[in-house]
Amino acid sequence: MKSGRILVVDDEPQIRRVLRATLGTEGYDILESHSGEEALSLVLAEPPDLVLLDLNMPGIDGRTTLKAIKADPQLRSLPVTVLTTSNNSHDIQECYDGGANAYVIKPLDYRDLLETVRTLTTFWLQTVLLPSTKSEVLTIYGMLMLSLPTMGIGETVPVI
């Protein structure tokens, strides 16, 4: 069974419902958000493993939500895939400039949408290795430094 927490951010309830039903039955823990404001609250409270983000929403839109996520050093490595109906070249460029990991046009057919999302989740949650959190890296580094023999007075073997 697959695992991972996916945040689906879309103002269209039917899109959220279809993705929750499909990905949930495949073993993913699905969080839903109808707005950028709610998405930021959820991401800050307990970061998911993947964000599927719509662009055009009322209030804080997807562009602003993306920039806020990527501006946070603790969240910067969180994969954010923009999943939108916009094929506007300005939107595409702005999202990549804002730190999007991928920009995908929502297929109009629900079967195609589900296949696209399955491909994205498999890629981001099963194929790709993402950086560890800063605290995990520092803990591992500290353990290595303690276990390495010294080369001289107070000098340790360089790890990096």
**DSSP-assigned states of every residue in 90-101:** HHHHHHHHTT-S
User: What pLDDT does residue 98 have?
Assistant: 96
User: What pLDDT does residue 147 have?
Assistant: 42
Tell me the pLDDT tens digit for each residue of 21-70.
888 888 899 999 999 999 999 999 989 999 999 999 989 999 999 999 99
- Percent of the chain at pLDDT above 90? 56
Minimum mean pLDDT range among 21-30, 84-93, 141-150: 141-150
User: Which residues 6+ apart lie within 8 Å of 143 measured at CB?
Assistant: none
d(CA 107, CA 29): 23
Domain boundaries 5-129, CATH class: alpha beta
User: What pLDDT does residue 115 have?
Assistant: 86
User: What pLDDT does residue 158 have?
Assistant: 46
User: Which residues 6+ apart lie within 8 Å of 160 measured at CB?
Assistant: 141
pTM of the predicted model as reported, rounded to 2 decimal places: 0.78
Minimum mean pLDDT range among 59-68, 84-93, 103-112: 103-112
d(CA 14, CA 112): 15
Q: Which residue has the higher pLDDT, 112 or 91?
A: 91
Contact yes or no for 62/56 (Cβ under 8 A): yes
Q: For the beta carbon of residue 72, count every other beta carbon within 10 angstroms.
A: 13
Q: Residue 1 — pLDDT band, cuts 50, 70, 90?
A: low
Query: What are the sequence ranges of the domains in the chain?
Result: 5-129, 130-160
d(CA 29, CA 23): 8
Q: Which residue has the higher pLDDT, 8 or 114?
A: 8
